[in-house]
Amino acid sequence: MMENPLEALFERARRALRDAETNPPSGFAEQVLQRHRARVLEHQIAFRASLVSVVTALCIFATVFGLNYDSVVATTADDQDPVVEMANSLWDSAGN
């Protein structure tokens, strides 16, 4: 498993602080801030992508449901299955 890149920076800073004669690595705070901003941006992009995919799925569901709603709800005695209509017409034409 890959080690967290921030942990390496923190370890360098700890080592530098243990040595009284040396300062923290140059650019340490900038690197931490830059990596934090990159991670936040990655999370925002992932959140937006998942939100867009959920909205797309809901739109597809609503479209399919809307197109089929009339055919499901509006079934009456006049609207028979074509197979049933064919069977009835054949049965009636046979004189039964």
- Cα–Cα distances in Å, from 6 out to 17, 27, 29, 45, 57? 16, 13, 11, 21, 37
Q: What is the pLDDT of residues 41-88, one digit of tens each?
A: 999 999 999 999 999 999 999 988 887 776 666 655 555 677 777 777
pTM: 0.48
d(CA 47, CA 21): 45
Torsion of CA 88, 91, 93, 95, to 10 degrees: -140
Closest CA to 28 of 19, 20, 18, 17: 17
Number of independent structural domains in the chain: 1
Closest CA to 35 of 3, 70, 4: 4
Instruction: State which residues form the domain around 58.
Output: 5-93
- Position 1 scores a pLDDT of 42
